[in-house]
């Protein structure tokens, strides 16, 4: 896969958008793990960062972003602008993380 520029803004400074290719997205749905939940409950009692959930969310963001970039690449884009992340609860123990943006061709 070629290098694709990712931007949360609608423009990339110093570049002209030549073509809009449309919406691209990538998502993942992750469930909590009983062993990690037990550690998280213990950390919640004592306070501090819940590293198990931090790692789970970081992995989820990367996977969703990679899937979005794969879709952009398949359309021939060399950039994705207006990138956003959103989450939604699927069930008590699972959540979806969605990355989306607009695939474009820049100069």
| Tens-place pLDDT, residues 29-45 | 988 665 656 666 666 67
Tell me, what's the pLDDT at 50? 75
For the chain, the C-alpha Rg in angstroms (whole number) is 17
Query: What average pLDDT does the structure give for the chain?
Result: 88
Closest alpha carbon to 82 in 103, 105, 104, 101: 101
**33: enclosing H helix or E strand:** none
pLDDT at 86: 96
Say whether pLDDT at 2 is over 80: no
Q: How far apart are the C-alpha atoms of 46 and 33, rounded to whole Å? A: 20
* pLDDT digits 0-9 by tens, 66-92: 999 999 999 999 999 999 999 998 887
Q: Determine the pLDDT at residue 94.
A: 85
CA distances from 78 to 6, 11, 35, 68 (A): 9, 13, 41, 12
Confidence grade of residue 5 (pLDDT, cut at 50, 70, 90):
very high
The domain limits of the chain are: 5-106
Percent of the chain with pLDDT strictly greater than 70: 84
Q: Determine the CATH number of domain 5-106.
A: 3.30.110.70
Alpha helices in 6-105 (DSSP H): 34-46, 51-75
Confidence tier at 1 by pLDDT (50, 70, 90): low
Rounded-to-integer distance, Cα 68 and Cα 24, Å: 6
Q: Given CA atoms 40, 44, 47, 50 in this order, what sign does their dihedral have?
A: positive
């Amino acid at each position: 896969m070629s290098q694709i520029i990712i931007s949360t803004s609608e423009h990339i400074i110093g570049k002209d958008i030549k073509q809009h290719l449309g919406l691209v997205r990538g998502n993942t749905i992750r469930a909590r793990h009983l062993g990690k939940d037990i550690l998280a409950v213990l950390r919640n009692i004592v306070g501090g960062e819940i590293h198990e959930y931090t790692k789970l969310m970081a992995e989820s963001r990367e996977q969703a972003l990679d899937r979005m970039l794969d879709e952009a690449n398949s359309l021939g884009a060399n950039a994705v602008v207006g990138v956003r992340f959103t989450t939604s609860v699927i069930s008590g123990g699972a959540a979806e993380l969605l990355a989306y943006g607009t695939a474009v061709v820049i100069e």
